[in-house]
Structure 1
Amino acid sequence: MTLRFDFGPEGEAETGYIRVSAADAYDSAKGYGFVDGSRVTALRRGGDRLTGDFCIPFDAAFLADIEDGNYIVSITIGDAAAPTCTTLKTNGERLVLRNFRTVAGQYAQERFAVNVRGGKLKLAFGGIAPRINALEIAPSKEQITLYLAGDSTVTDPSENGYPQSGWGQMLSYFLKHDVAVANHAVGGRSSKSFIAEGRLNAILEGMKEGDYLFIQFGHNDQKSDEPRYTDPATTYPEHLRKYIDAARSKKATPVLVTSVHRRYFEADGKLKDTHGAYLDAVRRLAEEEEVALIDLAEKSKRLFEEAGPEGTKSIFLWGAPGEWMNYSSGVRDNTHFQEQGSLRIAELVVEGIRERQILPLTMYLR
């Protein structure tokens, strides 16, 4: 069932729409509303019923209870009297709009895909002048689903982990509404433990012909504990092959991604390779299995060496004491990214999709 919401001050909604005012806090009984909405306001500027009024969801989120699956979400943004600037993240804090601007009197409708797990659609608003006039949430069976299997460098962040971010969180920003990203990556997992925990099986439950499975491991396959460790010459490619076979069993397309590099430099400014044989194992497997390879290790090496030891601090999760709310004592993390860094890494993944001409996925890049 398609849901339609008309945002603004209390009053009559557009025909076929549900009215949402600034005072509508989320309530499970009605199944929608704002959370963290103490600074949500609503205004009426005049004009037609749907665009002439709106809510200003400043640093707030809107929830709607819906069944799990893929959706096409359409949002109308605009203000008759003022320019607007809206950033929007969906489930898993996935970026879909970044400083999206309209001029006074302009109304824009943007569409994007969302993969919902957990029975709720979440729209988290940011930006210096956010607006929402109208919202439509339509279930879709026709979209391609791009599944991600990986570790903490890929995963969606936890709500209290900001600004830590994986590149999978940012991938939706580069895709049209024809493709929904289902990010199953989880921190601390290796190619082995991901399977042992049933996570690959969970992906297969929803996978269909025409979908994609992007696979990036390696960081935790190096760990010495038995549940995670794999040998780059034997068990690592053996486990990766299970992902390839699983995707092909569903007539989906597997894509291998080499591990993104960590932030460690040699004295001469060259990046230190901390993954070694694990990278070569992925490259050999891609050739043997005739699977598309995005060499994120090579791409990130070039990016990090160009930025240098100092410049890469703005890519990785570095911060002075007090700089980040969730890391008040400061942080120096050479493995994980902050948001502007994960956005840059996602750009490299998209660059790889274009270079490898992974069709029809390339047709749906923004």
Structure 2
Amino acid sequence: MLLIKSEKMLRSLLFVGFMLTQLCSYAQQSIQKYSFIEKLPGYTFIGPHTFYADKQASGYDLIKDIKKGTPFYFSTKAAEGNYQITIQVKANDGVAGSFTVKAESRRLMLLNTPLKAGQSTTKTFTVNIKDRQITNGVAVKLKPREFTKLDWDEKLTIEFDATHCSLQTLTITKGEEHFPTIYLAGNSTVVNQEDEPWASWGQMITAFFNPKVAIANHAESGLSLGSFLSSKRLDKVLSVMQPNDYLFIEFGHNDQKEKGHNAGAYGSYTDRLRFFVKAVRAKQGIPVILTSTNRRSFDENGRITNSLGDFPEAARKVAAELNVPLIDLNKMTKVLYETLGVEPSKKAFVHYPANTYPAQHEALEDNTHFNTYGAYQIAQCVLQGIREKVPSLVVYIKENAPVYNPARPGALADWNWPESPRADSTKPDGN
């Protein structure tokens, strides 16, 4: 009996040991800590030759020549979910500096954060990671270009760009707490554009929120409400949405081009908008409708012409009918572009001389898709719309985020965007 009793005790002790090991392993997976300048207790040191690979699941990525003072990428394997990232940055070289942080496909997290000479600072932000899987082998139908995007891989990527500053430590926390999540459904004016010089408001608005909320951008270039549905992107959002999460819905540019039975602003477009709203509410989520951004199309008097037909008004009517918050981007962008003026407004879009993006390439002239300056202005329009129409989200806006008036946009001369290393002149789908 003593032997049997001892064996039971031994099994119990082994089981307890196993569970403790599992709990420790879970803790390690939930909190990852990295140091970049020196080896620190409790941190994984990322040396100058520590590169991301399948067997080395954390390290420098995409760029093999890591040089002081140049942008770099850091990646680590990560499953779907919301992650809080805390970084410690220090000014070096005995002078003042600044740093910019982007995540995944150029989602702006921190822009030109200043540091005094010798000063250190700690900043925290939240990054959403998504995958294609929905359930039972059903997955989002990605476009070919999406298979190579940082937004759709199985890792979390941080882009760090600094002047006279160095990244000291980086901590990644994935806890059980659910952060309210703002899901974005839209087209090329909303999607995270991965390459310079293209940009959207969806990848800029992340910089204006505190780390207690996450933004999950499921938009993609060239999509309409119909193709967002058929590619199972709404199914994906609904599969991970929790009560009191949000879905921001902005379509119109590509819906406008659809043909066939029931096509049009007051046909399939309004039918699908109603479907989106009801589907989100069935998940106890909160839908928000946004009218489409104007195209840059001026008349002879310097006024924006309506190139979107009845679609903005149809969105307004559905929002009123279903008592959905409406952010009228169509109205605000008309004011913004007219304030900038016919020629100056080109500076908000992808209008560049030949041999600019990338070098040795023809001129780029696009009156639908924004550059970083334009996208940042429109993100502030959305933010102002949130303040006015979605008060439950105001508590998550950073205290220093300015109140915005599209009739008084930020001066282009004051715009300073540290360019990402990757550029492509290929125009996004849609127009």
Q: TM-score, normalised by structure 2?
A: 0.77
What does 1:194-343 correspond to in 2, within 5 Å?
194-225=228-259, 230-325=263-358, 328-343=361-376
Q: Which residue of 2 aligns with 1:93?
A: 106
1:79 pairs with 2:91: yes
**Cα distance in 1 between the residues matched to 2:312 and 2:116:** 48
SS at match of 2:252: coil
**Which amino acid is 1:83 matched to?**
A
Aligned to 1:144: 180
- 2:36 corresponds to: 7
Paired residues of 2:90 and 2:165 also in contact (CA < 8 A):
no
Selected match of 2:224 from 177, 180, 190: 190
Counterpart-to-counterpart distance in 2, 1:130 and 1:22: 16
Task: Say if 1:109 and 1:230 are closer, same or farther in 2 by CA, change over 3 A.
Answer: farther
Equivalent pair of 2:35/2:45 in contact (CA under 8 Å): yes
Give 1:114's match in structure 2, choosing from 116, 127, 135. 127
Q: Which structure shows the higher strand fraction? A: 1
Q: Equivalent residue for 2:117?
A: 104
CA distance in 2, matches of 1:177, 1:131: 22
* Structure 1 residue 36, shift from structure 2 partner: 4.2
Distance in 1 (alpha carbons) for counterparts of 2:95 and 2:49: 23
Structure with greater helix percent: 2
Are the aligned partners of 1:316 and 1:336 in contact in 2 as well (CA < 8 Å)?
Answer: yes
Q: CA shift at 1:320, angstroms?
A: 0.4
Question: What is the DSSP-based 3-state SS (H/G/I as helix, E as strand, rest coil) of the residue aligned with 1:360?
Answer: helix
Q: Is the 8 A contact 1:35 1:62 kept in 2?
A: yes
CA apart distance, 1:126: 2.2
User: What is the alpha-carbon root mean square deviation over aligned residues?
Assistant: 1.7
In 2, the alpha carbon distance for the partners of 1:339 and 1:327 equals 21
Q: Which amino acid aligns with 1:213?
A: L
- Residue 47 of structure 1 is matched in structure 2 by none
SS at match of 2:161: strand
Q: Which residue of 1 aligns with 2:392?
A: 360
C-alpha distance in structure 2 between counterparts of 1:106 and 1:120, whole Å: 31
- Deviation by residue 1:180-207 (Cα, 9 ceiling, x = unmatched): 1110001111111111111100111110
Q: Which ranges of 4 or more aligned residues in structure 1 deviate by more than 6 Å? A: none
Q: Give the Cα–Cα distance (whole angstroms) in 1 for the partners of residues 293 and 123 of structure 2.
A: 31
1:218 CA drift (Å) = 0.3
Q: 2:74 aligns with which of 53, 62, 69?
A: 62
- With 140-149 and 318-327 compared, the bigger mean Cα shift is at 318-327
Residue 95 of structure 2 contacts residue 164 of structure 2 at CA under 8 Å; is this kept in 1? no
Moved more, 100-109 or 229-238: 229-238
- The alpha-carbon deviation at position 327 of structure 1 amounts to 8.1
| Number of equivalenced pairs | 345
The CA deviation at 1:359 is 3.2
| CA–CA separation in structure 2 for the residues paired with 1:79 and 1:303 | 37
Q: Is the 8 A contact 2:258 2:264 kept in 1?
A: no
Matched, 1:157 2:193: yes
Report if the CA contact (8 A) 1:39-1:58 is conserved: no
Structure 1: 5+ residue runs without aligned partners?
42-55
Q: Distance in 2 between matches of 1:170 and 1:262?
A: 19
The answer (yes or no) to whether the contact 1:82–1:104 under 8 Å persists in 2 is yes
Q: In structure 1, which of residues 165, 170, 179 is the aligned counterpart of residue 213 of structure 2?
A: 179
